[in-house]
C-alpha cells in the first residue's frame, strides 16, 4: 500500500508543482516506486515541470470517463523508470471529475507503488477538496512571505477537517543569506508559529527558477535529499547551507 501524500499550499506560485516533481524524482532516484498525480485540472503544469508534456497521450479525464485504465494513462519518466505521472486535463472540465471518482482512481494507482504524490491546485475550493479527499498525509508548501504563510496556515486549519493523518510544512525559496543577516524569518520559526512539523527547507535557486528540476547535484538537490530523508523517516535533519551551519549562525537564528 502506497503512502498517499497531497502537496497543498493555498496560495499559488509557492512551488507545489516544483516540489512534487523534484520530490518524486528524488525518491525515484533511490529506487522507490513513485506515481505523481496532477490534480490541478485546467491549469496543470506537472507534465511540463517533468518535461513529459510531449509524451502525454491520455489524461485523468480519460480514466475518469472509463475510456482507458489508470495504469494505461501513466507516463513514464525518461530518466527514472520508477517515476510515473498521471497527467491532468488542459481544458477546464474540473466539474466532470468528482472527489469520489478521483479517490477511486487514486485507490487504483495505490497498488504496487511506494509513494503516490498528489499535486493539489491553489486555493481551497472544489479542486483542493478533490485532491485532499484522496490523501492520508499532507505537505503544506509556503514561501517565507507573509501572504503565503497566512494562506498556508488557513490551509493547515482546513486540512484538520479532513481524514489526513499527518501534516508537515516545507518552506520553499528560503534566502539563507537574508536569514543569516537577520533580515528574514528562519523556516524553523515559521513552522513554530504555524504549529506544524517542519519537514524541509528549500533554498532559493536560479536553476529551479529556469528549469523547474533541481538536477542531481547542487544546493537544491541536497535540500531535496534531506526532505526525502525526513519523509522516509530516515533522518530529522532539516537542510541548511554550509554557511549557515556555523556556531554564530546557529545563535543568530536562535535569537529570533
Partner 1 sequence: MKAAELTMKMQQTLVRDKSLPEGFGKMILDETDRLLSGFFEYGKGDLTLRLIPTGRGWAVEILLDAVRVKNLKLL
Residues making contact with partner 1 (CB under 8 A): 146, 149-150, 153, 157, 179, 182-186, 189-190, 193-195, 256
Q: What are the cell numbers at 109?
A: 494507482
Q: Are β-strands 3-8 and 115-119 bridged in parallel, bridged antiparallel, or unpaired?
A: parallel
Looking at the Cβ atoms of 40 and 153, the one nearer to partner 1 is 153
Nearer to partner 1, 119 or 153 (CB): 153
Q: Min. distance of Cβ 193 from partner 1 in angstroms?
A: 6
Q: Looking at the chain, how many residues does it have?
A: 256
How far, in Å, CA of 163 to CA of 146, rounded?
A: 28
Give least dist CB 248 to partner 1, A: 15
In the bound complex, what is the minimum distance in angstroms from residue 12's beta carbon to partner 1? 19
| 52-59 long-range Cβ contacts below 8 angstroms, 24+ apart | 52/77, 52/85, 52/87, 56/87, 58/87, 59/86, 59/87, 59/88, 59/89, 59/90
Q: How far is the CB of 238 from partner 1 (least distance, A)?
A: 17
How many CA atoms lie within 13 Å of 229's alpha carbon, on the beta-carbon side? 14
- The torsion region of residue 51 among left (phi > 0), alpha (psi -120 to 50) and beta comes to left
Q: In the bound complex, what is the minimum distance in angstroms from residue 150's beta carbon to partner 1?
A: 5
Nearer to partner 1, 101 or 150 (CB): 150
Q: Measured from the CB of residue 146, what is the shortest distance to partner 1 in angstroms? A: 6
- Nearer Cβ to partner 1 (108/193): 193
Q: How far is CA 123 from CA 15, 106, 108, 148, in A?
A: 14, 21, 26, 12
Q: How far is CA 123 from the centre of its chain?
A: 15
**CB-wise, 222 or 252, nearer to partner 1?**
252
Task: Report the residue number, 122 or 184, with the smaller CB distance to partner 1.
Answer: 184
Nearer residue to partner 1 within complex by CB, 38 or 151:
151
Output phi, psi for 179, to 5 deg: -60, -45
How are beta strands 115-119 and 166-174 bridged, if at all?
unpaired
Give min distance, CB of 153 to partner 1, in A: 5
Amino acid at each position: 500500500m502506497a503512502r498517499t501524500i497531497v502537496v497543498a499550499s493555498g496560495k499559488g506560485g509557492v512551488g507545489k508543482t516544483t516540489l512534487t516533481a523534484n520530490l518524486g524524482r528524488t525518491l525515484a532516484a533511490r529506487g522507490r516506486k513513485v506515481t505523481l498525480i496532477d490534480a490541478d485540472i485546467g491549469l496543470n503544469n506537472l507534465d511540463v515541470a517533468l518535461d513529459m508534456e510531449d509524451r502525454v497521450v491520455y489524461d485523468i479525464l480519460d480514466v475518469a470517463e472509463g475510456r482507458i485504465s489508470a495504469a494505461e494513462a501513466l507516463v513514464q519518466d525518461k530518466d527514472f523508470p520508477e517515476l510515473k505521472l498521471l497527467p491532468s486535463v488542459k481544458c477546464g472540465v474540473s466539474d466532470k471529475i468528482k472527489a469520489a471518482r478521483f479517490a477511486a482512481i487514486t485507490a487504483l494507482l495505490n497498488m504496487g507503488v511506494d509513494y503516490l504524490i498528489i499535486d493539489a491546485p491553489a486555493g481551497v475550493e472544489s479542486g483542493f477538496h478533490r485532491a485532499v479527499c484522496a490523501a492520508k498525509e499532507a505537505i503544506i508548501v509556503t514561501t517565507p512571505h507573509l501572504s503565503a504563510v497566512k494562506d498556508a496556515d488557513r490551509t493547515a486549519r482546513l486540512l484538520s477537517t479532513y481524514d489526513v493523518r499527518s501534516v508537515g510544512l516545507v518552506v520553499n525559496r528560503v534566502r539563507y543569506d537574508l536569514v543569516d543577516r537577520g533580515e528574514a524569518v528562519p523556516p524553523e520559526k515559521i513552522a513554530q508559529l504555524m504549529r506544524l512539523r517542519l519537514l524541509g527547507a528549500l533554498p532559493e535557486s536560479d536553476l529551479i527558477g529556469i528549469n523547474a528540476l533541481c538536477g542531481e547535484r547542487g544546493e537544491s538537490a541536497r535540500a531535496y535529499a534531506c526532505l526525502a530523508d525526513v519523509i522516509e523517516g530516515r533522518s530529522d535533519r532539516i537542510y541548511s547551507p554550509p554557511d549557515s551551519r556555523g556556531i554564530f549562525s546557529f545563535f543568530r537564528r536562535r535569537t529570533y
